[in-house]
Structure 1
Amino acid sequence: MSFKKLIEPLADTISNKGFEEPLPLQKQILSKIKGGASLFAIAPDGKGKTTSIVISVIQKLKTAFEDAPRALIFVKDKQAAQDLERVFNDFKRGTDLRVYCAYDEYDIDSQRDEIYVGTDIVIATPKRLNKLFYMNGINLNKLQMFIVEDADFLFRNNNLSEVTRTPESIGKCQYLIFASKFDARFERWQDSFMYNAQVVKL
């Protein structure tokens, strides 16, 4: 998929940044994601995984809508959440999409109240997301995209089980997992909520 096929504000932003055509990974996955496919995108660092997430989410959601988030992105820690939020804020210019970060180093009651006001995209650490969910602090009934950025972190500090809990509580959703390598433990997801997912390796 070429950048020219993106919604106008996003295509304009990408053009202003001087990006003329998608990177090899993006050429393989952007059209698949737009078409609704779930996938594992496996590529080394620096090959466009993060920008693929941002472009795909903005392209799919387009505008703010109601209060419940439609995209949930798991990240390893507070710094990763804030870094990804900055990229989103840079690329979503010209849209009214709302992005919110939920991480452990912040008052959970304040986070619950701020999420309740309304957001389209939630970037969260696994433990904090689950705490918010179990205290009824986040509504996942409208979720369309479930994403893990740099999923290699899942295999430390019980993060895999924390993230695996979430699909048990949501309905039909698109699953996108980005990682530098395909870990054999991902096969458990292929046998359950990602049974029809494609694997794209660069």
Structure 2
Amino acid sequence: MSFKKIIEPLKDNLANKGIETPLPLQKEILSKIKGGSSMFIIAPKDAGKTTSIIISVIQKLKSSFEDAPRALIYVKDKQTALDLELEFNSFKRGTDLRVYCAYDEKNIDDQRDEIYYGTDIIIATPKRLNKLFYLNAVNLNRLQMCIVEDAEFLFRNNNFAEVTRTPESIGKCQYLVFAEKFDARFERWQDTFMYNSQIVKMK
């Protein structure tokens, strides 16, 4: 997918950042993501994985709709969540999309109240997202995209099990896992909720 085929606010924001043409990884995956494919995207650092997430989510959601989130992005920790939120905010200018960070260090009652007022995109650490979900503080019934950024962190502190719980609680959804290498433990997901997924590898 070329940048000519994306919504105007996003196209303008890319141009303002001096981003005129897709990187090789983006040429390979953006149209597939737009088409709804679930994928493991395996690529080295600085290949454009995070920007691909942001472009794909904004392009798919386009504008604010209802109160329940339609995109969930798992990250390893608070700082990663806040950094990704800043990136989203710079790319989504001109849209009314709402981004919210849910991480362990913040008071969970405050987070529950803030999520109640509505969000389109949740960036979350796995443990905090599950706590919020089981407190009925976040509604995943409208979820369209479930994404893991830099998935290597999943294999520490029981994060893999925490993320695996999410598909058990939601309906049909697009799953995207971004990592620097394919871990054999991902085969469990290929046998269940990602059984029809593609694997895209870039060197």
Q: TM-score range by the shorter chain?
A: over 0.9
Following superposition, the deviation at residue 20 of structure 1 comes to 1.4
Per-residue CA deviation, residues 90-133 of structure 1 (Å, 9 max, x unaligned), is 00000000000000000000000100100000000000000000
What is the number of residues matched between the two proteins? 202
Per-residue CA deviation, residues 106-165 of structure 1 (Å, 9 max, x unaligned), is 000000010010000000000000000001010000000000000000000100000000
Secondary structure of the equivalent of 2:41?
strand
Q: Which residue of 2 aligns with 1:199?
A: 199
Residues 1:74 and 2:74 are matched in the alignment:
yes
Q: Which residue of 2 aligns with 1:180?
A: 180
Q: Name structure 1 gaps, 5 residues minimum.
A: none
Counterparts of 1:43-192 in structure 2 under 5 Å?
A: 43-192=43-192
Q: Name structure 2 gaps, 5 residues minimum.
A: none
Moved over 6 A (4+): none
Normalized against structure 2, the TM-score is what? 0.99
Residues 1:36 and 2:51 are matched in the alignment:
no
Letter in 2 for 1:35: G
Q: Which residue of 2 aligns with 1:16?
A: 16
Distance 1:88 1:20 in 2: 18
Distance 2:17 2:5 in 1: 16
Per-residue CA deviation, residues 65-101 of structure 1 (Å, 9 max, x unaligned), is 0000000000000000001000000000000000000
Following superposition, the deviation at residue 10 of structure 1 comes to 0.2
RMSD: 0.4
Following superposition, the deviation at residue 37 of structure 1 comes to 0.4
Q: % of aligned pairs identical?
A: 79
Following superposition, the deviation at residue 17 of structure 1 comes to 1.1
Letter in 2 for 1:117: Y
Secondary structure of the equivalent of 1:131?
helix
Normalized against structure 1, the TM-score is what? 0.99
Secondary structure of the equivalent of 1:29?
helix
